[in-house]
Structures are given as C-alpha cells and as structure tokens.
Structure 1
C-alpha cells in the first residue's frame, strides 16, 4: 500500500486527542495511588475489597500503557519515514508498523468509550422469547448462542445461571453470567428486543415468520454498591433445577426464584424476577439469585438516574412489532440492521456466529456522540 504523509499526520493527531480524552496525566497519578494502597500490609485482609482495587489498578494501567505503546509506535513510524526519505527501502517494515498502529489506535479508542461507572463490571444477560411459541423460542436459543459465541471469541468466562428448554425447540428463558474486563460495557449494546424474519423451519407450508426475543443486560454489583430491598417485597419460590446441556433433573428443589415487587425511585412500580439453578445447594442458589436480583434493580435505577433518551420501557418493552433495536432478516434477502445506529451488514451468518463488534462499536460511538451534544 502507499502511505500518504497527510493521512499519517491525521492518525497521529487522533493519538494526541486521545491523550486528552483519557485524562492521561490523571490516570498516571491514579495508578501510583492505587499501587500505594496495595503496599499496605493489611491490604489483603479484606479480599473482596482488595480484588476491587486490583481490578481498578489493572484497568488504569492498561489505558496508560496502551497510550504509551501508541506513542512509541508513532515515533517508530517517523523513524522509518526518515529512513525512507534518505533512500532506504523500508516500505514493508513501514507498512507493518502502520497496520499495527491503526489497529491499536482503534482498539484504544473503543476502550476509551467504555467510561461509564459500571462498564468495567461483569454482566448478567437474560433472554426472554416473545409470543409465538416454538418459532420465538427457537429464536431465543439462536440469540443465546450468538452472545455465547461472542463471549468465547473474546475469552470471557460464561456460566449458565438459569435455562428453561422450550416445549418443542429453543428456550422459554435463559440467563447467563459473563465475566471479564468490560463485559457489561460491551454487552449493554444488546439490551432490547431483537427481531427475526425468516422462512420458519417449523412451518410445513414454508411461510415467512417474524419472531421477537428480548435481551436484558445488567452489571453484576459488588459490595461497593448498596441496594436495599425489603424482605417483605421479595417472594421466594423453589423448583427442581435442570441445567442446560443434558444435565439430569435434580430430585430435590435446589433451584431458586426470587420475585421483587416494589417501587423505583421515580415512583414507577416494577416486578423483577431472578432465578438461579447453577449451584448444587439451595442456599448457594438463593445467595446467587439475590445478587442477580439486586443487580437488575440497580440497572433499573441507573437508567432512571442517567435519564437515558431511550427509556427503560424501550429496553424491556413488549416483544412486538415496532419495539425492536435490531432486525435480522434471513428472507427474502440477508441483512442485519441496528435501528439505533443504522449500522448494517449482509453477512448474517457471521453475526449469528458472534461477530458483534462492529454493532457494539457503532452503538458506543453513538452514545459518545449523544453525550457531547
């Protein structure tokens, strides 16, 4: 490829802008402060708090080191340019260095978009197929696989918290826990109703069907966040647990379902359900279900406080026409289109196989643009 000097200067300018967006100098100070905390002899006495500090430290160091690498690459490219001006044949080396620079610049710009208070947290993802029986339940399972494939590609740890098989195929509902750096920051883009248009494999007349499934993503809270729920507002239900993947149905009621019914800070009434059947004991499942329940209530309150332009009802709206955030069309043509950002692709197969990064980046960019208006 031919590398134009003016194009490179524009890229270099993005690096300087990024330094400002990152609050680079403040982050370097914060790294020192956090490192000093880890030197306290009593630091690991409270392991959960210590782990939280270590996560903050890793996050801050990652951003600082990533910018430093970009700056070093920029200087390296300038050296190669100087060699080239002096008549040396370094075109191949220069191209490789520029390719690496562009990739790292894009990655850091994307990482910088994850600046929300909870973006660094692990995530809970819940799938609820809409009305439509087997067709919608099958669509729910397709989305379940799509999110799982995305998480696997990014080396996130995924565990199934709750899973209910559909009557014929697919799922009635499912909940997964995704653990890893910025899991919530990326996956929050998937909250909303997903619409599928295809020739149904369950229709003997091969007719086109439209199906809906809602996906709700919330950050997993820890001890740094306090969510108080009155015990009288929480109903406890027990059930026989049966995990996904052919696990045997338990003979005892180890599965736990918690239902909170109450008012949020804006006065609206809400009913929030959290289930867990992944642990072996009922006590463990109850404790985990309570964390999930509080995490979901926290997400509802956060949405109210942030006064998002897209109201919460849009995220948890009824699964019907007109409420979708993204459409997946398999017939009469192939296209996946996000209605919030207008980002689209004709490569339906890759999207269903977990290639969601372009959609996530478009969503994050749109959020940044809204905040700067």
Structure 2
C-alpha cells in the first residue's frame, strides 16, 4: 500500500539524508532534515491507522444488515475515513521545490476604500486562525493601520512543516461582497484584497541579491494613528531597484532585526516572481495566460444578500461563511492541491 502512494520512497530518502556524516557539520540543515523525516514518519503512522480502520470497516460490513442502525453508523465511519484519507493524500502531493518551507503572507487592501481595508484585516484574522489550527507558529512582522478602520497591509511569518505548500494556493485576489457597515445607506459593496504567499528562503539558497541593487531607508516605527512606538529609526524600507519591489518591516526593536526580516520577505518575493514568470511562459504557450489583474479574483466571499464562499479555480464552495472566516480553509486548500497535482 505504502509503495503505491510513494510514501516508503519519500521516507527512505529522508532517512538516507539523516545518516550522512557531514550533515551534522551544518546544524540548520540537520534540523531541516530531521523535521522532514519526522513529517514522513508521522504521515506513515497516519496511513497505517487508516489502513487498519479500512480493514475493520470492511470486515464489519459483511456482518451488519443493510438499513440497520449499525449499517448507518458504519456508513458514517466510512465517510469520516474517506475525509481522513483525502487529507493524508493531499500531503503526498506537496512535491514542489519550496513546498516544505515556512511561508510569508503579505496582505494588501485593494479597490473598495475603507471596506477593502476592513476586509484585509478580516483576512488577516482568518489566516492566523487557520495557522493556529495547523499548529504553526505565526508572527505579524508588519501591519499598517487604515485611517478609519481595518488595515492597509500586513505581513505574517508562518513557521510550520509544509506551510508554504499548503498556503501557496491562497496567492491571489480575494473578493468580498456585503452590505457595507461604513456606508450610511448600508449599500452593497464589493471590495478586494491581494494575498501574496512567499516561501521563506535561507540566505545561502535561492535568488542571489546584490546589495548594490538595493536602496535601504530607515525611519521611526509607528503604531495606530501614526504615533511613534520608539524613539530610534529602527523601521526599515528596502527597495529592489531592478524590479521596483518594496518591502518594509517595523515589528522588531532593532534595525538589524527589521532589515533581516525585510530581506527575507524580499527574497521570497523575488523567488515567487521567478516561479510566476516561468508559469506564465508555460501558460502563454498553452494559450491560457491571463494578466494578474484585480478582476481575476481566485475566490469570492458573499456575506449578503446570501452567504457563499466560492473558489473560481476549483468550483469548491460552501454556504458556511463564518466557519471559513474562522479559519476553516481545509476543503478549499485540498481542492486546489488535488486539481493542480
């Protein structure tokens, strides 16, 4: 069973890496390899449990009467087993070069004024809840408050095995439709926010960044309403001159720490840019390339006049809007990974 799904091979590869003598010369690399080995070992345990459960259900299925209470209970158990199988199977699909990396999420408000800023803050809460449910560690490294409500932007660092692999499908434009609480007439309002998902790349890997191509500005960190939260120029803004990409960080007290965080985000953005350019070239050859514009939202969240969340790439949808906003994203993430395998 395990050979069929490729789990044995993946675990064996991780075990071989962990046995290399020179591995322990690099503690960071060793930690990464041991994390990967634990990931595959834990997944193997899950598969063994599912296999045993499937065998039990099959045996009991021959012993119960069709239409009986026991048969109905067995059917419910089988449905639960199917769901658990799909969740475990999805983890085997994460074979991209950066799928097992930690991730950075950058949220930016788009068209829609105050509603868009409020929407961006709602998405921030949604992703923090989702990460918490996965047992991942999160740090909000940058947050720019809106003048009236919500946030203009935010950056979250998410540390957890396969965080990038699971979240990469969230990259894109998210659309909100609701009756605006910021409009005196309570009119229907459509708002947009952009979610960027970037892999965290170690300094010695991935895209090389020439410091000569950077403009680094420092300024005082500020909180809500523009008030200064410290008296030193610890906040950092880095501009990558060849691409025009701009990254800011003001969450740490030290300028050096903020610079390090900002460089991590910049490296992730440049890596993501290269991945997207490669994908766009392939799509152009296929005749399916579409510009990444605000009209090309990946998912819509409708609060009024009815409730629905729909992913436009997979057609996955639910009427349980509040559950989704509370971080219940599993069905959407799994549907995307299964479709893009």
Q: Is TM more than 0.5 here?
A: yes
Question: Which blocks of at least 5 consecutive residues in structure 1 are unaligned?
Answer: 1-15, 263-269, 369-373
The verdict on how the C-alpha distance between 1:275 and 1:23 changes in structure 2, with shifts beyond 3 A counting, is same
Q: Which residue of 1 aligns with 2:104?
A: 124
Show structure 2 runs of 5+ residues with no match. none
Counterparts of 1:25 and 1:136 in 2: how far apart (Å)? Answer: 47
State the partner residue of 1:326: 299
**Bigger CA drift: 341-350 or 103-112?**
103-112
Deviates more, 1:182-191 or 1:51-60: 51-60
The alignment yields a C-alpha RMSD, in angstroms, of: 2.9
Matched, 1:343 2:316: yes
Q: Which residue of 2 aligns with 1:175?
A: 155
Looking at structure 2, the residues matched to 91 and 217 of structure 1 have their Cα atoms a distance apart, in angstroms, of 45
Q: Determine which of 205, 218, 226 is the counterpart of 2:185.
A: 205
The SS at the match of 1:301 is helix
Please give the per-residue CA displacement for 1:77-108, whole angstroms capped at 9, x wherever unaligned.
455557779xxx99799678746643431221
1:258 aligned to which of 223, 226, 238: 238
State how 1:280-359 maps to structure 2 within 5 Å.
280-307=253-280, 309=283, 313-314=291-292, 317=293, 319=294, 322-359=295-332
1:272 correspondence with 2:245: yes
Compared with structure 1, are the counterparts of its residues 98 and 366 closer, same or farther at alpha carbon in structure 2 (3 Å cutoff)?
Answer: closer
Residue 285 of structure 1, CA deviation: 0.9
Give the direction of change, closer, same or farther, for the CA distance of 1:74–1:199 in structure 2 (3 Å limit).
closer
SS at match of 1:159: strand
Q: Which residue of 2 is the match for residue 215 of structure 1?
A: 195
Aligned-partner Cα distance in 1 for 2:77–2:187: 52
SS at match of 1:119: coil
Q: 1:54 aligns with which of 30, 34, 42?
A: 34
Q: CA deviation at 1:312?
A: 8.5
Rounded to whole Å, the distance in 1 between the matches of 2:163 and 2:246 is: 22
**Number of the residue aligned with 2:44:** 64
User: Residues 116 and 191 of structure 2 are in contact (CA less than 8 Å); yes or no, is this contact kept in structure 1?
Assistant: yes
Give distance in 2, aligned partners of 1:204 and 1:81.
Answer: 60
Q: How much does 1:131 deviate?
A: 3.2
State the distance in 2 between where 1:245 and 1:355 align. Answer: 32
Is 2:212 aligned against 1:232?
yes
Q: Does 1:249 align with 2:237?
A: no
Return the alpha-carbon distance in structure 2 between the equivalents of residues 45 and 209 of structure 1: 57
8 Å Cα contact 1:218/1:295 also seen in 2: yes
Residue 272 of structure 2 aligns to a residue whose secondary structure is helix
Among 182, 188, 191, which residue is 2:168 paired with?
A: 188
109, 119, 134: which one aligns with 2:114: 134
Partners of 1:144 and 1:258 lie apart in 2 by 23
2:132 to 149, 152, 167: 152
1:230-255 per-position Cα deviation (integer Å, ceiling 9, x unaligned)? 22221112122236799961111111
Q: Aligned partners of 2:25, 2:290: CA distance in 1, in Å? A: 40
